[in-house]
Each structure stands twice: as structure tokens, then as C-alpha cells.
Amino acid sequence: MSHSPAELGPLLLKARAYGFSEKGSTLEIFEPISDSPKILIMGSIHGDESLSTVLLSECLRSIQADELKSAVILAVNPDGVLAGTRCNSNGVDLNRNYPTNNWSPEPVYYRNRSGTPQNIALSPGESAGSESETKALIKLIQNLRPRLVVSIHGFLACIDDPDASPIAHDIAIRSDLEMVPDVGYDTPGSFGSWCKEQAIPIITYELPSMGMVELKQIHLPILKDLITGHYHQKLI
């Protein structure tokens, strides 16, 4: 992918607010200027996976407004990004807060790096769907009615799609990442579980653990194609 000097400067595309975080940060979405978006792409539901925000930002900075064909949320969890935490400002793992049939009030445990114990506890929320960020995203998706959601995470190095869709298959080939039907462990109250219950196709794009230069070389072309409508013809 070629880079222009504009990509190193400010993000000039205009976003609109779709809600506010628990701490009062504006939740923003970038949308096509004409057609309704068929694909919603989102980053940083976990604040400590903010490389997704950096990659999506650079993609947006590399295009003109009329080239944007998908909806893009740079950070679903802006407070977590600013604090460098997986959780939001209430200590809630937003990716375990969705009102699903499998939501659980039990603490959520995770590890912050490979090879360490999975013993860092976070809350799934006082109740399912309790957090402002969760409520706002649910309302937004119900209004947008996207035909596909792509949620970018780190760093399990896989393309998770239970439907094994043509888009996921192509992304897996281009990124040299394994395509899997799930991440291999239970995810009660996850955004992916909620999408499945709403019959909304979702691809969870798990970035690999590597340096930013390598991540950009491999993944920016794929994300730019997602943003500019290259994959629309593959939607089922």
C-alpha cells in the first residue's frame, strides 16, 4: 500500500455522535456521505487493543470522503483507550456486557500477555446491557441494520467467523491468518454472541502480535478494501 503525506496528518473526515461513554466521552461513527453502509467496522471494544484504532484511522486518512462506503467506529471504548485498560471507566469488560442468552454476572478473567495466568478480574456489568457504550452501540446497529459487522481485536491471530463466509475466507488468505469458527473458549455476553442472536453476520478480526510496521504492511490494504466497498459484492 502506498502512503501519502496526508495520512500522517489530521483526520479530516467528519464523524457524528451516536452516544456517550460512561465517563462522558463522545462515541463517534464515520459514515458514507450518500448510501447507507452495508458493513460496519469497529475497533477497540477493548481499550488495550487500540492498535485497531490506529489502523482504522490511517485507512480513513488515506481516502476522500466519497470513497468511504462502510461505517467505521474507531473506538467503541474510548475511555478504555485513553486509560490503556481493557475495560471501560466502570471496570466493565464491554465485550461481556451484551444482553445475550448466555450473559453471566460472574467476573470475567483475562491475561494481559501470552504465557501469564488468566487471573485478572473484570466485571461483566451490574446487569446485561448496563453500560452506556453497550446501549449506544445496540441502538446504532438497530438503526443502521448492517449486513455485516467486522470487529477488530488483538492478538489471537485468527479470523473468527462461524459462518465461514467468502469475505472471511478472503481476509484469512490475504492476512495469512487461520480462519476459525470460534476463539476456543466461552464468551458469555460477548458482542459476537449478541450479533448471532440478532442474526447479524459478524467477523472477528484478531490481529497477530507483531510490530506496527508489519501490521500496517499486511493489514492496511485489507482494511482499506473493507472501508471502500471492495467486499460489498461478496455479501450474501
- What CATH number is associated with residue 227? 3.40.630.10
| Position 83 in a domain | yes
Identify the pLDDT of residue 2: 45
pLDDT attached to residue 204: 97
Q: Is residue 162 one of the residues assigned to a domain?
A: no
Backbone phi and psi for residue 4, each to the nearest 5 degrees, phi listed first: -100, 160
Q: What does the pLDDT profile of the chain (236 residues) look like in tens digits? A: 444 555 568 999 999 999 999 999 999 999 999 889 999 999 999 999 999 999 999 999 999 999 999 999 999 999 999 999 999 999 999 999 999 999 999 999 987 666 777 788 999 999 999 999 999 999 999 999 999 999 999 999 999 999 999 999 999 999 999 999 998 888 999 999 999 999 999 999 999 999 999 999 999 999 999 999 999 988 86
Residue 116 resides in a domain: yes
**Model pLDDT, residue 4:** 55
Choice among 31, 58, 133, 206 that is catalytic? 206
- Is there a domain that residue 78 lies in? yes
- The length of the chain is 236
What is the C-alpha separation between 124 and 189, in angstroms, rounded? 8
Residue 174 lies in a domain: no
Q: Is residue 48 part of a domain?
A: yes
Q: For residue 129, count other CB atoms closer than 10 A to its CB.
A: 15
Q: What is the pLDDT of residue 118?
A: 79
- Does residue 206 have an active-site annotation? yes
Number of compact structural domains in the chain: 1
Q: Model-level pTM?
A: 0.95
* Contacts of 145 by beta carbon, 8 Å cutoff, 6+ apart: none
Predicted local distance difference test score (pLDDT) of residue 6: 53
45-86: per-residue pLDDT in tens? Answer: 999 999 999 999 999 999 999 999 999 999 999 999 999 999
- In the block, cell 471504548 appears at 77
Distance CA 31, CA 155 (A): 27
> Does 14 map to a domain?
yes
- Boundaries of domain holding 57: 5-153+187-200+212-234
Structural domain includes residue 167 = no
